[in-house]
């Protein structure tokens, strides 16, 4: 399979309308999971920061491949921060609490997970499977911000909530068995494409549109049709994953392209016809894209150098709201992270010098080295940006 030629496209509503799809509706989302489809309505008027934050992670492909890592029957189903290996994913700056928005943590709502700091929410969220009004805010105590509700598929949430749980990875409890992953997420359209077709026929028609728009080198439209396919929870084969990766790359959606490649490598064997193309794309994306969304370490890499890999990335303070003490704590966390990263790089370098490695194994270790450097640079740059914002408040 060849990589589509880069062309110049205008990101405007006219081109999107030309794809044959109605314009996107920002408040309704389809979440596809290993156990079924959940449809979500975002409260973007009552919780604008949290709704926009959720959509930003979604559009980057961040949630694809993440799991529900904390499940407590009769309470919550939490996810959005860890991959299938239960490793935490790098996240952006936290956002300010919006729990005093008149919305309550009742059954079927979705709220932002956070630490004891009210303004620490990033990518993680939880479904309320019961009326958890004790999580609501009060005039004196901020609560957990509700930013969405389940419109359909609450039975899927309940099934996940009823799974047996126990310790796994770095978690001492509450990890469901088996793990349930988010396989795709996309905005729902105000009008479903091909409404007169059966679900199977609809998916086939959308796949045909993807092929047709790629053949016409209209990759903006192809990306939009991929979104429509994800909204229908269509099965993603290895061929579709590599095709989506090339489309996302050419349309400057690098984090989403990296995610598509992560999913490709998860299901494709080295004998797959596009495997070398996928490796080449990955090498092209990693220098620029890895700092935005890092590929999950493969099982092979974990086996080669699991002790070298960094488990987590520090949550950075928000310069708009943080106190001086919080900024100093953030500085200490960043310094400690950078020191651990230097140790990780040294460990990976030592591992790559082993004489009995294959070329593929050595390539994995070198890629992990480069990924670590990229993340270090991104964390340092993001923290420096927050320092600048903080100083402007003084």
Spatial distance between the Cα atoms of 382 and 317, rounded to a whole number of angstroms: 10
User: Pairing state of beta strands 146-152 and 76-83?
Assistant: unpaired
> Which one is predicted more confidently, 119 or 10?
119
Pair (204, 164) in one structural domain:
no
Cα 103-109-115 angle, rounded to 5 deg: 80
* Amino acid 301: pLDDT: 66
Does residue 4 surpass a pLDDT of 70? no
* Amino acid 299: pLDDT: 52
* Amino acid 311: pLDDT: 63
Mean pLDDT of all residues in 315-328:
85
* Amino acid 346: pLDDT: 85
Question: In this prediction, what percent of the chain has a pLDDT beyond 70?
Answer: 87
As a whole number, the mean pLDDT across the chain is: 84
Pair (249, 340) in one structural domain:
no
Mean pLDDT of all residues in 307-329:
81
* Amino acid 285: pLDDT: 79
Pair (171, 196) in one structural domain:
no
Per the DSSP assignment, residues forming a β-bridge with 82 are 88
Pair (201, 239) in one structural domain:
yes
Does residue 49 surpass a pLDDT of 50? yes
Pair (178, 42) in one structural domain:
yes
Nearest residue to 98 via CA among 52, 62, 131, 147:
147
* Amino acid 92: pLDDT: 83
Nearest residue to 220 via CA among 391, 69, 393, 9:
9
Pair (173, 36) in one structural domain:
yes
Pair (42, 92) in one structural domain:
yes
Number of helices (H) and strands (E) in the chain: give both, helices first.
11, 10
CATH number for the domain including 251?
Answer: 1.25.40
Spatial distance between the Cα atoms of 129 and 339, rounded to a whole number of angstroms: 41
* Maximum Cα–Cα distance across the chain: 64
Residue 7 located in a structural domain: no
Nearest residue to 1 via CA among 198, 266, 275:
275
* Amino acid 281: pLDDT: 87
Range(s) of the domain holding residue 100: 28-184
Task: Summarize pLDDT for 71-127 with one digit per residue, the tens.
Answer: 999 999 999 999 998 888 888 889 999 999 999 999 999 999 999 999 999 999 999
Pair (131, 229) in one structural domain:
no
Lowest mean pLDDT among 29-38, 62-71, 355-364, 368-377: 355-364
Residue 6 located in a structural domain: no
Does residue 155 surpass a pLDDT of 80? yes
Does residue 269 surpass a pLDDT of 80? yes
**Domain edge (last residue) among 118, 150, 184:** 184
Pair (176, 242) in one structural domain:
no
Per-residue pLDDT band for 244 (boundaries 50, 70, 90) equals very high
Q: CA torsion angle for 44, 49, 53, 59 (degrees, to 10)? A: 40
Per-residue pLDDT band for 302 (boundaries 50, 70, 90) equals low
pTM greater than 0.75 (yes/no): no
**Domain edge (last residue) among 152, 184, 216:** 184
> Which one is predicted more confidently, 340 or 129?
129
DSSP-assigned letter for residue 207: H
Pair (139, 248) in one structural domain:
no
Lowest mean pLDDT among 167-171, 300-304, 324-328: 300-304
* Amino acid 279: pLDDT: 87
Residue 94 located in a structural domain: yes
The total domain count for the chain is 3
Pair (274, 199) in one structural domain:
yes
Spatial distance between the Cα atoms of 256 and 201, rounded to a whole number of angstroms: 26
Residue 123 located in a structural domain: yes
Does residue 199 surpass a pLDDT of 90? yes
């Amino acid at each position: 399979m060849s990589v589509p030629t880069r062309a110049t496209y205008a990101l405007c509503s006219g081109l999107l309308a030309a794809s044959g799809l109605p314009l996107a509706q920002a408040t309704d989302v389809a979440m596809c999971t290993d156990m079924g489809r959940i449809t979500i309505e975002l409260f973007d008027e009552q919780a604008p920061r949290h709704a926009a934050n959720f959509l930003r992670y979604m559009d980057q492909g961040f949630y694809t491949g993440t799991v529900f890592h904390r499940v407590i029957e009769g309470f919550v189903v939490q996810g959005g921060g860890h991959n299938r290996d239960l490793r935490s994913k790098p996240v952006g700056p936290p956002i300010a609490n919006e729990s005093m928005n008149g919305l309550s943590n009742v059954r079927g709502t979705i709220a932002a997970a956070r630490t004891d700091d009210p303004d620490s929410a990033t990518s993680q969220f939880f479904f309320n499977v019961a009326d958890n009004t004790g999580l609501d805010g009060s005039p004196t105590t901020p609560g957990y911000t509700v930013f969405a509700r389940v419109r359909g598929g609450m039975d899927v949430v309940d099934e996940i909530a009823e799974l047996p749980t126990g310790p796994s990875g770095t978690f001492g409890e509450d990890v469901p068995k088996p793990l349930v992953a988010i396989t795709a997420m996309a905005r729902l359209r105000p009008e479903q494409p091909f409404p007169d077709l059966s679900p199977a026929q609809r998916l086939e028609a959308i796949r045909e549109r993807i092929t047709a728009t790629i053949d016409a080198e209209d990759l903006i439209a192809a990306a939009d049709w991929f979104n429509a396919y994800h909204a229908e929870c269509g099965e993603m084969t290895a061929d579709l994953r590599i095709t989506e990766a090339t489309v996302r790359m050419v349309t400057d959606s690098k984090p989403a392209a990296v995610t598509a490649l992560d999913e490709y490598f998860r299901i494709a064997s080295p004998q797959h016809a596009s495997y070398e193309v996928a490796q080449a794309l990955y090498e092209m994306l990693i220098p620029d894209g890895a700092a935005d969304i890092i590929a999950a370490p493969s099982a092979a890499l974990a086996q080669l150098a699991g002790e070298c890999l960094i488990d987590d990335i520090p949550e950075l303070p928000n310069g708009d709201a943080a106190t001086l003490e919080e900024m100093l704590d953030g500085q200490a966390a960043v310094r400690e992270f950078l020191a651990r990263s230097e140790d990780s790089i040294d460990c990976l370098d030592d591992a790559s010098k082993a004489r009995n490695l294959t070329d593929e194994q050595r390539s994995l270790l070198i890629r992990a080295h480069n990924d670590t450097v990229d993340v270090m640079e991104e964390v340092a740059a993001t923290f420096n940006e927050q320092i600048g914002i903080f100083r402007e408040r003084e």
